[in-house]
Amino acid sequence: MNDRSELNAIIRETQKILKSYPVFGTHELPVLPTRTKEKPMKSVTAASKEQILAPVREKALVCQDCRLCKTRNSVVFGEGSLDAELVFVGEGPGRDEDKQGRPFVGAAGNLLNKMITAMQMTREEVYICNVVKCRPPQNRPPEPDEVAACGGYLESQLLTIRPKIVCALGKTAASALLQTEAPMSALRGKTFDWKGLTMVVTYHPAYLLRNPSAKKEVWIDMLRVLEMLGRPVPAV
């Protein structure tokens, strides 16, 4: 019995008793209307998130808001689950990504895939995107005005998906999102609030390709992410 029907049973019992004492009457004791099933909290479905992001993607695909549009082959908007609990944000597309129109498909992408697998997750269940959606020539870091021009797309992605954790990969992503010039050493191992979302920072996979000894630090960061997600933490 739920609280409401229990209360109604008590009221009915009370009415019976009061009826035997007509002086009290019973009309002041209305039975509560029986409530139909509790309305479930409306959750934003992946389909409605897609409705929000589709026009944003369409706009990005023809964007000419900065000089990177002149040298790009494709706009690399991002991909993955719109229900993702975890979003990885990289710096910007490289040569392979620019060719294929997909994020993290080159050497750094292979390493990111390995990280995701080691976390006992799949690439399909996370979301992966970049600070800038077009490849900076010679893979140079994006300029501040390029980051700013692309900022609205990233913000739409993150605030629509609303993951439990945003993981910034490397200094460019961390600086762009947190508006900080702090070094990686000061950012790793901490939790930040980004417009109401929880954000963490770790090394970029491309950095790990150049500095494999830092892989263990990234693994520590990813174990922390798993703990924060309430997921099983794999034994190494």
Which residues of the shown chain bind ligand URA in the complex (CB under 6 A)? 90-94, 97, 103-104, 106, 108-109, 130, 206
Smallest gap from residue 106 Cβ to ligand URA (A) = 6
d(C-alpha 43, C-alpha 219), whole Å = 32
Determine how β-strand 127-130 pairs with β-strand 197-202. unpaired
Looking at beta carbons only, is 85 or 97 nearer to ligand URA? 97
Nearest position to ligand URA, beta carbon: 90
Smallest gap from residue 133 Cβ to ligand URA (A) = 10
Looking at beta carbons only, is 96 or 155 nearer to ligand URA? 96
Smallest gap from residue 113 Cβ to ligand URA (A) = 12
Looking at beta carbons only, is 93 or 163 nearer to ligand URA? 93
Edge-to-edge order in the sheet of strand 127-130:
79-80, 127-130, 86-90, 165-169, 197-202, 192-194
Looking at beta carbons only, is 80 or 92 nearer to ligand URA? 92
Q: Which residue has the tokens 């993702």?
A: 84
What sign has the CA pseudo-torsion 19, 24, 30, 32? Answer: negative
Smallest gap from residue 33 Cβ to ligand URA (A) = 56
Smallest gap from residue 154 Cβ to ligand URA (A) = 12
Torsion of CA 2, 6, 8, 9, to 10 degrees: 140
Find out whether 68 and 136 touch, Cβ atoms under 8 Å: yes
Smallest gap from residue 169 Cβ to ligand URA (A) = 6
Find out whether 90 and 128 touch, Cβ atoms under 8 Å: yes
What sign has the CA pseudo-torsion 125, 227, 162, 181? Answer: negative
Looking at beta carbons only, is 37 or 210 nearer to ligand URA? 210
d(C-alpha 47, C-alpha 44), whole Å = 8
Looking at beta carbons only, is 85 or 98 nearer to ligand URA? 98
